[in-house]
Amino acid sequence: MKREATAQALAEAAFDLAKARGLDGFVIDDVVERAGYSRRTFANHYSCKEAAVASVAYSGIDAAVSALEDVSSDVPLLDAIHAVLRLQLTTETLSRMREVIRLSREFPSLEPYVHHVQHRMRLEAEQRLRLVAADRYPPTYVSLLFGALYGMVSSALEGLVDVRLPGDTSSGPGSLEFDQFLDVAFKHLRSGF
């Protein structure tokens, strides 16, 4: 769909500008000039530049959930999710999220939109996961499980930014810390606190 492509192009331009000049270092006119659209078109897609910048964190969620939907149904649900997170929550996707979170620390006006994107990702993933698991688990169970999982993962993402922010962009991808964290999180998910 063309609409989506335009939105992504605008978001990309806004994200680049925010990285380069900071969130207050540019106006919407700069974004549309860079992306080659009109200001009016920007307003058709985003309500403000914050929304555009935050939206880039959304990329990758689709691939992750799709991977989950492909998992054969005789693999236990928790195992499947664990494996998918390990595979998908890496490199590009993870480092973008971290960059957006980092920006939102520096420019608090970005925070609401980042949280909004995270929330939408959670909703979409949860909804699609519920379909995948519909024949094995009741919806309420999946909601609780997913809510708990989301809470732990998002808490870890924020934590990673805190811990590793000063300096290294090095160990972004399948970083040891994140994998280790995932293991602990799933241990609790399986057998409680």
CB of 46 to a second copy, least distance (A): 11
115 binds a second copy (CB under 8 A): yes
- What is the pattern of x (binds a second copy, CB under 8 A) and - over residues 54-93? ------------------------x---------------
Q: Any contact of residue 44 with a second copy (CB under 8 A)?
A: no
Nearer to a second copy, 34 or 137 (CB): 137
Q: Closest separation between CB of residue 106 and a second copy, Å?
A: 16
Q: Which residues contact 70 (CB under 8 A, 6 or more apart)?
A: none
Q: With CB under 8 A as the contact rule, which of the stretches 16-24, 26-34, 56-64, 106-114 interacts with a second copy?
A: 106-114
Which of the listed partners (a second copy, DNA, none) does 45 bind, with a CB threshold of 5 to 8 Å by partner kind?
DNA
Q: 3-state SS string over the chain?
A: CHHHHHHHHHHHHHHHHHHHHCCCCCCHHHHHHHHCCCHHHHHHHCCCHHHHHHHHHHCCHHHHHHHHHHCCCCCCHHHHHHHHHHHHCCHHHHHHHHHHHHHHHHCHHHHHHHHHHHHHHHHHHHHHHHHHCCCCCCHHHHHHHHHHHHHHHHHHHHHHHHHHCCCCCCCCCCCHHHHHHHHHHHHHHHHCC
> Does residue 170 bind a second copy (CB under 8 A)?
no
Distance CA 81, CA 177 (A): 18
Stretch in the footprint of a second copy (CB under 8 A) among 10-18, 62-70, 88-96, 181-189: 181-189
Binding site for DNA (CB under 7 A): 1-3, 6, 27-29, 36-45, 47-49, 109
What residue ranges bind a second copy (CB under 8 A)?
A: 47, 51, 78, 109, 111-113, 115-116, 118-119, 126, 140-141, 143-156, 159, 184-185, 188-193
